[in-house]
A and B are shown apart, each in its own frame.
Chain A
Amino acid sequence: MFRPRTNLTDPVNFSFEGRRLTASRGDTIAAALLGSGVFIFRESAVSGIPRGPFCMIGNCYECFVQVGAMGVVQACLTEITEGMQISKVSNSIDESEMGIKEISKR
């Protein structure tokens, strides 16, 4: 895929599926993962086949990942931050993605 980057000037630590990884400050989540050799980001909602980033400009919605408290985000438009815990999006339906849980709590 992409060459691993060496000598990151301003490193940021994060995790994907429990694996500890490092990226460069200012990277998007997608760049951080691709630069760490991760290219399967989620399972498709229809058949569950693996998917990864495709367009990198926010249009294809292939790069959805689950980020701790933020929920499901587009990895190509979201900046990586220190300590971010990222996981794959599986094809089972999660109510929290729809924002339904937050409303029903009120």
Chain B
Amino acid sequence: MTTQLPLCDVAVIGAGPAGLTAACELAEGGRDVVVLDEQAAPGGQIYKGVEKVFADRPQDIRFLGGEYAGGERLMHRFRQSGAKYRPGVSVWQITSDQEPELGLGLIENGSAQMLYPKHVILATGAMERPTPFEGWTLPGVMTVGAAQSLLKSSRLLPEDDVVLAGTGPLLYLYAAQLASFGIRPQAILDTRPSMSLRAVLLGVSALAACPKSMLKGMKWLWSVRVKMNMVRGVHSLKAQGEDHLRSVSYEVRGYRHKLSTSLLLVHDGVVPNTWLSMSAGIRHHFDSAQSCWVPDIHGAGSTSRKCISIIGDGARIGGASVAAMQGERVACEVDTYLRTQHCSTVATQSRALRRQRRLRRFLDCAFSPTADFQLPADETIVCRCEEVTAREIRQVAARGCMGPNQGKAFTRCGMGPCMGRKCALTVSQVMANAHGVPVDQIGHYRIRSPIRPITVGQFADMALVPGQDKKAS
């Protein structure tokens, strides 16, 4: 039987600004490109549902903001580009560099299959930084990103009793969006410390580099401060309730306050989603400026595996404009690789990219992660899946456990269905703190495929080549 492997030149994983721009550039240049997306429609998180909003409820566009509306042009270009779009596809495996073929394990419409591209571009974007605090597992506690996603894709708006807590540009953007829909949250519990001199100086530099973005951000912040009940200097956040959230309490200057609410939205910035890149055996390091793990990148997106590039927020948090610029730059690198099988990294950085770097340095400094969430109190659940508390992590560290992988054996921390996505960063930081060493030295969970749940049945039924039904053979 002759076997025809499902091949393509380039598989792009993720359909946000980075992935779509790279796909457009390569497909327009005549490459056979497949875009794999877990979501039902292109846009990633930032442009989530943008085509649907334009088609079904254009009146909402102006409330969601100009940057969101700009996504529609990219969607239009992508639809014309000739790149194949496969929505609703989860990638559960990238074959290791020990395997003869570069292959991707996919789940589409409930069945598992393989795809064999010559090159893979990971554009898996960001996820929200874990925000562990007492009561954060209660139904009714969600992330700000989750609520914004519900607003974009389904026009779900919170009741007025909603409380927002934490820090980060997204929190203020969402609050400003709520204001434009006529919703005033009960309170915004701001955990950001007052701005340091360094942040102010970086702010001046960022204002000179990217005046438009800075002024836009200041406008959000200003509108939130003026129109809403914003409480500064909040710490020791707690969510309370029996079966679901009933109230939120917090401390300001030594006094504890309490608010009744059924919805608490938390945010503490975003970090790269590195689960695929780590499972592919690509080298990573801890980025101290952004307090998160990032893949080692050289050039526009080259990694320690020459057949895999990483761009966008999954490479390092840079925002949508940087992601799109990286998408453009990586296309040249990938095209050269496909022609010559050698890496030639794009070294030059455009002025626009250097300007964005100055903006990012300010944002990283001004919205640094909340201390309470980085090193949570003892009784706080760190691993939501296995319900392991910070106390248990500290106890095993005190007994000599040197890293998160050994910690799994003692506590099962990080071994639930989320595979550590919501606790890895916290566990590494808590252990590093307990041992008094840098996070880099403590390390990260070892991430192995399958990185998305796949049933034994799906695995057993997987057709290795299309048209070949394993059951019939």
Contacts and interface: CB of A to CB of B under 8 A. Distances in A.
A39 B140 contact: yes
Nearest to A101: B457
A39 B147 CA distance: 13
B387 interface: yes
A51 B139 contact: yes
Contacts of B141: 54
B79 interface: no
B457 A31 contact: no
Contacts of A71: 455
B157 interface: yes
Interface SS of chain A = loop
Interface stretch (B22-30, B148-156, B194-202, B330-338): B148-156
A1 interface: yes
Contact of A31 (B154, B158, B262, B418): B154
Contacts of B127: 55, 57, 59
Nearest to B452: A58
A46 B386 contact: yes
B6 interface: no
Contacts of A41: 139
Interface in B108-142: 110, 127-128, 137-142
Contacts of A27: 153-154
A34 B457 contact: no
B221 to A, nearest CB: 25
Contact of A103 (B138, B385, B456): B456
Contacts of B459: 99
A57 B37 CA distance: 12
B153 A3 contact: no
A9 B15 CA distance: 27
Contacts of B58: none
B417 interface: yes
A99 B457 contact: yes
Contact of B156 (A31, A44, A46): A31
Interface of B: 38-40, 45, 52, 56, 88, 90, 110, 127-128, 137-143, 145-147, 149-150, 153-159, 243-244, 262-263, 273, 384-387, 416-418, 421-422, 453, 455-460, 471
Query: Which 9 pairs across A and B sit closest by C-beta, in order of nearness?
Result: A99-B457, A99-B455, A52-B139, A56-B146, A31-B154, A61-B417, A102-B457, A99-B456, A61-B418
Interface of A: 1-3, 5, 9, 24, 26-28, 30-32, 34-35, 39-41, 44-47, 49-62, 64, 70-71, 77, 79, 97-100, 102-103, 106
6 contacts: A3-B157, A52-B140, A54-B143, A56-B146, A57-B145, A59-B127
